[in-house]
Structure 1
Amino acid sequence: MITLVTGGVRSGKSRYAESLVPASRPVAYVAPGLVPVDGDAEWARRVAAHREHRPACWTTVESADLAAVVAGASTPLLIDCLGTWVTRLVDDAQAWDDPVAAAEAVGLARESLVGALVRARADARVEARADARAGVDVVLVTNEVGWGVVPEHASGRMFRDELGRVNAAVSAIADRVVLVVAGRVLDLSAAPVVP
């Protein structure tokens, strides 16, 4: 099953996503964002705090190649978060000042991720019909952006647009989509998908 958990910053979306995967069995926690950089003590503290509260049986995978991680998964995956992933993709492409290059880099990665998720879900359904252990569950966390003022800088507008495209593409193929707002969970799974 593919579940997308979206919401604002500090809404509780990561905690809710963590509740969807087993705490007592192996899980791959996928951190697709940037690793701490020298001199950024605040970011390093955030990463360390995230690592410290995870169950000991979970492993951490730090990779921007989410399609490969999904394709090679043998345990449930918790990918947290697509917003930091888009940031890393644009950083890696050195494209903050080039919206065309940023859109190309994010678009290729988005298509690869969606393809891997669709294949993983299909494989899980085949395995379930064969009475084997059902395939791997994937829970993806993302930020919902663009609900406020239009960003002043072109790079902020590009980021908002690209993350919105990623969220819509993953939502379109997800089995379940939830919105977390102010610590409350709204299930959007039955809501129509924009054509």
Structure 2
Amino acid sequence: MPRKAPLRRASFEEFLALEATSSERHEFVEGLVFAMAGGTDYHNRLVARILLALLPAAERAGCEAFAEGMLLKVEDAAYYPDVFVTCEEPLDGARYKKTACLVVEVLSEGTEAIDRGEKLHRYRKLPGLQAYVLVSQEAKRVEVYRRLPDGGWRYEVVEEGQVPLPCVEVSLDLEALYRGLPV
């Protein structure tokens, strides 16, 4: 499913001002502002479980984990990843981060094409990104794009057991992640 039509054109600063006063969230791509779709209860459960798994490990590593409410700026775009970890120095009152070592998106019918295309392309340009993770709502399946030491990327699919995640050195247990979901 393609992205919906943009709501308006704006500078990044205008976009940030809009987000500061809006009751809805938007994404910013090449000077265009797009409304974001809402999530299902399955989507929200998966995001919460991923955040709960990452948060203690991120704190131990001196990093921060965010879920859905913090923007990640990548070149001329800004997105609200479902979950991401940054070891960037915290700034009081910051509305966005510029670095991430781990980004997780929970796939949905309305966002899957963007997550697999546009976001994959942009996120992989983040110098410190160690992994980009796609979590299915339809099946017990997690896809991981891992940065290799030579700068290349390896793609893997995990459908059972543990999904080791770099950056904060934690694993997602697929049984716990999908417990109670009809997959």
Shorter-chain TM-score range: 0.3 to 0.5
TM norm structure 1: 0.31
Q: Relative contact order (alpha carbons < 8 A, sep ≥ 6): 1 or 2 greater?
A: 1
Kindly indicate which of the two structures has a greater share of residues assigned to helix. Answer: 1
Rg larger for: 1
Kindly indicate which of the two structures has a greater share of residues assigned to strand. Answer: 2
